[in-house]
A and B are shown apart, each in its own frame.
Chain A
Amino acid sequence: MANSSQHEAYWNKTKNLMLVMLALWFFFSFVIHMFVDALNNITILGFPLGFYMAAQGSLIAFVIMLFWFARKQNAIDEEYGMSEDN
């Protein structure tokens, strides 16, 4: 184990990234769909926007979030020398 202050800094950064992801997850899972009626007044390509967000929009956000998260967390691992190659 590396010295514990480095470990603590690493874990704080990891935790912050987790919280950011959790907030985004909460937004796209719940908050956006609470406004479905208002969003349905906007129509794009035939899609009422509220319907679209539940059918595709949130899903696309989840996929992008996960690839971004994998990169970001890996960068944190490397910054603190915690990745598996070290």
Chain B
Amino acid sequence: MASTTGGGDSFTANLGRVYTLYTGGFIAFIILMAILGAIGVPNVVIGYMFMGFTILIYAVIGIMSRTMQVGEYYVAGRRVPAIYNGMATGADWMSGASFVGMAGTLYLLGYDGLAYVVGWTGGYVLVAILVAPYLRKFGAYTVPDFLAARYGGNLARFIGIVVLFSCSFTYVVAQIYATGIIASRFLGLNFSVAVYVGLAGILVCSMLGGMRAVTWTQVAQYIVLIIAYLIPAIWMSTAKTGVPIPQIMYGSALENISALEAAQGISPGHIVPFAHGGFDAKNYFLLIVCLMVGTASLPHILMRYFTTPSVREARVSVAWSLLFIFILYFTAPAYAAFAKWTMLDLVASGLTPDNIAEKAGWLMRWAAADGTMVQICGKAAVDAAAVAAACSEAGVTGNLAFSDITLNADMIVLATPEMAGMPYVISGLVAAGGLAAALSTADGLLLAIANALSHDIYYKMIDQNAPTSRRLVVSRALLVVVAALAAYTASTRPADILSMVAWAFSLAAAGLFPALVLGVWWKRTTSAGAICGMIAGFGITVLYLIGTQYGFDLTKGTGDEWAMWWGVKNVSAAAFGLPVGFAVMIIVSLLTKAPSKEMQDFIDEVRVPRGKTLMEEKTT
């Protein structure tokens, strides 16, 4: 791999050695924890050590990478080699929801959950061929930078910031929420306290070193999260089939699931397409479109490609990103299949309210921690007596059926180690992995928001003469303010925020994708066209989301919510925003005067890798 290190930075020159050592150290730490567990150290101590040790490492990297240079702070000095940027993007991309929730969704939705797997990987093809290399050549610090340069100034920049803020903020709240859930479950902290512990973990990574610190902690976090994800899957595969390759062996898990489902009369089965959770074929494919196009528009992902040394490395880096993401995403369906097989087996072995505490005590422990996580016969399964009472009330006699047990999608990954009878050290590892996933994504998102506020609003729109030191101080202060605001929002446990995360993709897709793509690929796009198109596409998406979810009184469930247009679920709201955005952008562009000769030359420059970046920044 060609790596333009430059500057004699001993850290970037020794990356391979540093991270190999780190990975070995982490594995040694897991083995040490396993030994401690075996000699009887209490579970909660092991939980604390996993969290404490990993957060300490991130903090050390964050502090070592502190910087006072603008280029380092915003784009890590543009010298992150493609493969490491790929790993960092993987961690940036895979959120708490991917790690904690994806396999759970696949467990519940079967084939139809695969829309997320396909949608969240295929989007990188669009990133590589349409957007990222060109933004890298332009040399932006933020996505709104490009919009401002291409579409004549601050109005386009401002709309870009609005879209960026609305898709990133709900997303970051959900990450902090996820860290709160993990910390409260595994450390036994109060949820509101746990949220602020998570916040501290996020700030130590990003505040001192900006993009540079976030990059190198994200690489470390990727290594933790991928190890934590693979080990339980490998364990289950080995226990169930004797072969430690879950991604290949879950074929037999699928066969067993189908057989057990048939025997227990469960329909529709796991592998049946377009039959679960309201996903007909139309919604399945529209969701794939929205997730893919959203991927290619999310500012915190696009800005990772601003950090590579060259346009060529940016392209290779997208490929590496997808490879690292692929490793988790092609394991998730296997994870789900083995967990479902284990659960179906458990039910088939004859589960009754009398023996449930003995056979599956973990169900009760989860329900006791949070009553929405496990429900049996429609009530929180806090103990055997509660299960017996709920089931006799519901008229369930004898053995429980699979359908009597309702598991929350978010608990399945975290609970699988207990479900499959693994030692507690694996639970601690999985918790550390979930934490790494949530922290790394939160870092990237917070940086995207704070950079937009400090670079785009403060520096570019308010005070163009601000000295570097003040810009960085403003940026750090805003980072803390936005983070605290997000943590406060998360601590109120906003019920809707989690479902709103899926909206981020539609908002980004409709608001940014047409302007970014046409800006590079169609010279005729005018400023007026782009601005009208962004407003129209983003506007109709917001309108559809709010209208179908809340109605005009902005309150859920009051009966004035809109009916779905043509039966399209609002998670795919960009199905309307995208075509409208493109259409308005093209029509208005054709009606207005073609862009100037200078602008056409500028686009020609963006299209070729050769030559300097176009946005030269004063750095002192």
Contact = CB atoms under 8 A, between A and B. Distances in A.
Interface of A: 1, 7, 10-11, 14, 17-18, 21-22, 24-25, 28-30, 33-34, 36-37, 40, 44-48, 50-52, 54-56, 58-60, 62-63, 65-67, 69-70, 73-74, 77, 81-84, 86
A7 to B, nearest CB: 6
B269 to A, nearest CB: 10
B480 interface: no
A63 B319 contact: yes
A29 to B, nearest CB: 5
B153 interface: no
Contact of A69 (B129, B253, B326): B129
Contacts of B607: 11, 14
Given A25-B125, A45-B248, A54-B117, A84 B319 contact: no
Contact of B288 (A17, A29, A65): A29
B375 interface: no
A18 B129 contact: yes
A1 B605 contact: yes
B463 interface: no
Given A29-B292, A69-B128, A48 B609 contact: no
B251 interface: yes
Given A48-B254, A83-B609, A86-B610, A55 B117 contact: yes
A77 B312 contact: yes
Given A58-B118, A83-B609, A51 B312 contact: no
Interface of B: 111, 114, 117-118, 121-122, 124-126, 128-130, 133, 247-248, 250-255, 271, 273, 281, 284-285, 288, 292, 310-312, 315-316, 318-319, 322-323, 326, 329-330, 333, 601, 604-605, 607-610
Given A11-B607, A55-B117, 11 more contacts: A14-B607, A21-B129, A33-B285, A45-B252, A46-B252, A50-B273, A51-B273, A63-B319, A65-B125, A66-B124, A70-B316
Contacts of B133: 73
A7 B312 contact: no
Contacts, number: 130
A51 B329 CA distance: 14
Majority SS at the chain A contact face = helix
A25 B122 contact: yes
Nearest to B253: A46
B118 A54 contact: yes
Contacts of A30: 285, 288
B121 A83 contact: no
24 contacts: A10-B608, A17-B129, A22-B129, A25-B122, A34-B281, A46-B250, A50-B273, A51-B111, A51-B254, A55-B117, A59-B117, A59-B121, A60-B326, A62-B322, A63-B322, A66-B128, A67-B319, A67-B323, A69-B129, A70-B312, A70-B319, A81-B610, A82-B608, A83-B609
Nearest to B119: A29
A82 B604 CA distance: 12
A59 B271 contact: no
A1 B604 CA distance: 9
Contacts of A34: 281
B118 A1 contact: no
B246 to A, nearest CB: 12
Contact of A18 (B130, B273, B281): B130
A46 B254 contact: yes
A49 to B, nearest CB: 11
A33 B124 contact: no
Contacts of A10: 608
Given A21-B125, A21-B129, A37 B273 contact: yes
Contacts of A56: 247, 330, 333
Contacts of B129: 17-18, 21-22, 25, 69
B251 A44 contact: yes
Given A45-B248, A51-B111, A62-B125, A84 B609 contact: yes
A33 B118 contact: yes
B315 A69 contact: yes
Contacts of A50: 273
B48 to A, nearest CB: 36
B124 A62 contact: yes
A66 B326 CA distance: 12
Nearest to A72: B315
A4 B609 CA distance: 15
B251 A47 contact: yes
Nearest to A15: B521
Given A11-B607, A29-B292, A44-B251, A59 B125 contact: no
A59 B329 contact: yes
Contacts of A60: 326, 330
Given A29-B118, A62-B125, A69 B273 contact: no
Contacts of A86: 610
B328 to A, nearest CB: 11
Contacts of B121: 58-59, 62
* Most B C-beta atoms less than 10 A away, residue of A11, A34, A47: A47
B114 to A, nearest CB: 4
